[in-house]
Amino acid sequence: MRRLVVSILLLLLMAARMPAFAQQAAPPAAAADSVVATALADLGSGDYDRIRHGVSALAFSGDDRALAIIEALDAGTLYVRADHKLFLKSPSGAILDAATGKAAPDVMASGLHEVRVNNPVRSAMDAALGSLRLLSPDAATRTKAAEAVFHSHDPRALPTLEKAIARETNAAARRRETQARAAVVLFIPATPLPARLAAIATLRARGDLDARSLLDSLHNQPPEAAAAAHTAVAAIDRSLALWGVVQSIYFGISLGSVLLLAAAGLAITFGVMGVINMAHGEMVMIGAYTTFLVQQAIRAHWPDLFGASLIIAIPAAFLVSGAVGVVIERTLIRFLYGRPLETLLATWGLSLILQQGVRTMFGPTNQDVGTPAWMRGSIDVGGLSLTLNRLYIIVFAIAVLFALMAALRYTALGLRMRAVTQNRRMAAAMGIRTPWIDALTFGLGSGVAGIAGVALSQIDNVSPNLGQNYIIDSFMVVVFGGVGNLWGTAVAALTLGVVNKFLEPVAGAVLGKIVVLVLLILFIQRRPRGMFPLKGRAAEA
C-alpha cells in the first residue's frame, strides 16, 4: 500500500519536473538500467541542476553501482571525459569505468576532469548517501545515514528505511531510523492521521532543535495533526529551555574550573604568602610550553606514548614552573617582602621579560599542542553534549584543588608553610628555615600554575600571551574568594564561571564580562576581604 503511494507520488513529482525519470516507476531491470544510464548522462553533463537530479535518480534507482559512484562524487574522485563518459578512481588508485564498474586501464588520467559540485548538489548527495548507506553493515554509518534522511525527509527513502528498520539490531540506530521514518512520513500527503500523530509523538520524544524546526516547518497537515505538532513544539521549547539552563550551568562550571586552575597557584603565592605575583600568568604559560616541548619530544622519540603525553607533562610542567618560581623568589621577591606595591611592579617587569623571552625562543605564533585520542569527542547526556576535554579539565581542577589542600594540611612542608605564614619569628625560633620555606612555598604556587598550563594548553592557544588572559581573572577569583582560603577560591571560581555564562546569552560575551567585573568591583567595595575572610589575628598580619 505505502509503496504504491510512494510510486504515485514519485510519478507526480517527476511528471512535474523531470520527464526523464518517468521510467523509474516501471520496475523491470531494463528500465532501471535506462534510469541509471540517464542519471550517468546527467552526472557527466557539467550542469549543476542536471547533476543534482542525476544524483537523486541514481540513489533511488536501487542499482548496486549507485553507492560507489556517489561516494566517488562526494570524495572528488569522480571524473568525466570530454565525451561525457564517467570514470571513478577506486581507493586503490585504479581508474574504473563508472557505467560498468570494470577497470579501464587505457584511459589517460590527463583527459579526465573532476565532476564539480555546488551546495545544492552537495545536499542532494548527503540525502542520497543517507538512503544508500541505511543498509550498511556498520551501525554508526546507519545511524548517520538515518540522520541524513531525517534532515532531507525525502519520501523516496522510505522503502529503504522500512527495510533497514525491519532488520535493525542496534538500539541507537533503530531510534534514529524510526525518527527518520517519522520525519519522512509527515511529508507524505497520503499518510493517515494515526500514523501522523504517532510520527509527531516520535519527534516530540526526540526533543532537540532539529525535531523542533522540522515540526515547525510542517504545513498542510490535518487539524488534529497540526494541533499535536503545535503542542509538541511547545513541549520541546520547554524542555530545551530547561536543558539550556543545565547547559549554562555546565559551561559555567567548565569556565569556573579553568579559573580555578589558573587561580589555585595564586591562592598560594598571593593568598598564603601575600606576594603579588603579576608574572603568575607567565608561570601558566611556561607550563603550557613545557607541555608543548614534552609532546615534541614524545612525537620525535616515542610516538607510541603520545596518549600519555599530557600525563607526563603534568609533573614536568610542575617541576619547570616550580623551579622558575624558586629562582624568582630567591633572586627577586625575597628582597621585596613587605613592599607589595614594589613587588607588583617588579613582577610585572618580570612577566614582560618572560613573555618576550618565550617570544624570542619560540616565535610569536601559536604552538600546536595535540590532544590525545582519549580526550577527544563528547558524550551525550539528555539534551547535553559534553565535550570530553572540558569534562577532564573539570575533574582535573577538582583533583588539583584537593591535592593542594592535602599538601598544605598533611605534609611536613605544608605544616611548615602554615607555621611560617602564621608566625614567622616563632617558626624560626622552632628551627624552621623560613627563607627556604618561602622559596618552596613560592615554588609550589608556581608549580601549580604550571600544571594549570598543561590543562589550558588543551583549550586555549599556546602563545606567549597565554598568561595575560588569565592574570586579572585569577586575581579577581582570589580576592573574591577571600585571601588565604582555598575553599573560598574554589567557590569564587565556580560562582564567577556560572554567573559569566548566565549573563552571556542575555548581555553578550563582552558585556557579560564587563557586568561581572563591575559586580566584582562593587562586591570588593562591600566586602574588601572577600567572601570568606580569614578571622583572627593572622588576618591582620
Give the Cα separation of 366 and 465 in Å (integer).
10
Shortest distance, position 540 Cβ to other proteins, whole Å: 4
Stretch that binds other proteins, among 50-58, 444-452, 494-502, 523-531 (CB under 8 A): 523-531
Q: Is the CB of 152 or the CB of 347 nearer to other proteins?
A: 347
Q: Which residue has the cell 584537593?
A: 402
Q: Which of 352, 373, 381, 399 binds other proteins (CB under 8 A)?
A: 352
Q: Which of 213, 231, 360, 365 binds other proteins (CB under 8 A)?
A: 360
Q: Which of 335, 374, 402, 410 binds other proteins (CB under 8 A)?
A: 335
Q: How many residues bind other proteins (CB under 8 A)?
A: 43
Contact mark string toward other proteins, 222..261, x via CB under 8 A: ----------------------------------------
Q: What residues does 208 pair with on adjacent strands?
A: none
Q: Is the CB of 451 or the CB of 471 nearer to other proteins?
A: 471
Shortest distance, position 501 Cβ to other proteins, whole Å: 17
Q: Return the H-helix or E-strand segment holding 387.
A: strand 384-387
Shortest distance, position 530 Cβ to other proteins, whole Å: 9
Q: Return the H-helix or E-strand segment holding 349.
A: helix 340-362
Q: Is the CB of 107 or the CB of 336 nearer to other proteins?
A: 336
Shortest distance, position 493 Cβ to other proteins, whole Å: 16
Taking residue 73's Cβ as centre, other Cβ atoms within 10 Å add up to 28
Look at residue 101 and give its three-state secondary structure: coil
Give the Cα separation of 464 and 492 in Å (integer).
27
The reply on whether position 341 binds other proteins by CB under 8 A is: yes
The reply on whether position 5 binds other proteins by CB under 8 A is: no
The reply on whether position 514 binds other proteins by CB under 8 A is: yes
Do 279 and 348 touch, CB atoms closer than 8 A? Answer: yes
Q: Is the CB of 40 or the CB of 328 nearer to other proteins?
A: 328
Q: Is the CB of 330 or the CB of 513 nearer to other proteins?
A: 513
Could you give the dihedral angle defined by the CA atoms of residues 518, 521, 525 and 530, in that order, rounded to the nearest 10 degrees?
A: 130
The reply on whether position 518 binds other proteins by CB under 8 A is: yes
Q: Which of 80, 148, 276, 496 binds other proteins (CB under 8 A)?
A: 276
Give the Cα separation of 407 and 401 in Å (integer).
10
Q: Return the H-helix or E-strand segment holding 379.
A: strand 378-381
Q: What is the DSSP string of 15-79?
A: HHH-GGGGGGGS-SHHHHHHHHHHHHHHHTT--HHHHHHHHHHHHTTT-TTHHHHHHHHHHT-EE
Look at residue 184 and give its three-state secondary structure: helix
The reply on whether position 201 binds other proteins by CB under 8 A is: no
Q: Is the CB of 150 or the CB of 289 nearer to other proteins?
A: 289
Contact mark string toward other proteins, 55..94, x via CB under 8 A: ----------------------------------------
Q: What residues does 259 pair with on adjacent strands?
A: none
Shortest distance, position 344 Cβ to other proteins, whole Å: 6
The amino acid at residue 114 is: E
Q: Which of 342, 365, 430, 433 binds other proteins (CB under 8 A)?
A: 342
Q: In 3-state terms, the chain is what percent helix, strand and coil (to 5)?
A: 75, 5, 25
Stretch that binds other proteins, among 61-69, 169-177, 346-354, 490-498 (CB under 8 A): 346-354
Q: Is the CB of 354 or the CB of 462 nearer to other proteins?
A: 354
Cell of 94: 585504479
The reply on whether position 381 binds other proteins by CB under 8 A is: no
Shortest distance, position 323 Cβ to other proteins, whole Å: 19
Give the Cα separation of 382 and 379 in Å (integer).
10
The amino acid at residue 386 is: L
User: How many Cα neighbours within 13 Å face the side chain of 279?
Assistant: 28
Residues numbered 427 to 486 that lie near other proteins (CB under 8 A) are 472, 475-476, 479
Residues numbered 313 to 332 that lie near other proteins (CB under 8 A) are 332
Give the Cα separation of 19 and 11 in Å (integer).
10
Phi-psi region of 531 (alpha: psi -120 to 50; beta: other; left: phi over 0): alpha
Label residue 414 exposed, middle or buried (CB < 10 Å: 0-12, 13-18, 19+).
middle
Q: What residues does 378 pair with on adjacent strands?
A: 387
Sign, Cα dihedral of 76, 119, 150, 70:
negative
Do 449 and 280 touch, CB atoms closer than 8 A? Answer: yes
Q: Is the CB of 102 or the CB of 526 nearer to other proteins?
A: 526
Q: Is the CB of 18 or the CB of 328 nearer to other proteins?
A: 328
Q: Is the CB of 165 or the CB of 519 nearer to other proteins?
A: 519
Residues numbered 481 to 510 that lie near other proteins (CB under 8 A) are 510
The reply on whether position 517 binds other proteins by CB under 8 A is: yes
Give the Cα separation of 69 and 92 in Å (integer).
15
Q: Is the CB of 76 or the CB of 349 nearer to other proteins?
A: 349
The reply on whether position 348 binds other proteins by CB under 8 A is: yes
Residues numbered 19 to 58 that lie near other proteins (CB under 8 A) are none
Between CA 59 and CA 67, with CA 65 as vertex, the angle to 5 degrees is: 50
Q: Which of 379, 406, 511, 538 binds other proteins (CB under 8 A)?
A: 511
Shortest distance, position 526 Cβ to other proteins, whole Å: 7
The reply on whether position 340 binds other proteins by CB under 8 A is: yes
- In degrees and rounded to multiples of 5, residue 381 shows phi and psi of -125, 110
Q: Return the H-helix or E-strand segment holding 380.
A: strand 378-381
Stretch that binds other proteins, among 237-245, 350-358, 487-495, 496-504 (CB under 8 A): 350-358
Please report, as ranges, the residues that interact with other proteins according to CB under 8 A. 274, 276, 332, 335-336, 338-346, 348-353, 355-357, 360, 472, 475-476, 479, 510-511, 513-514, 517-518, 520-522, 524-526, 528, 540-541
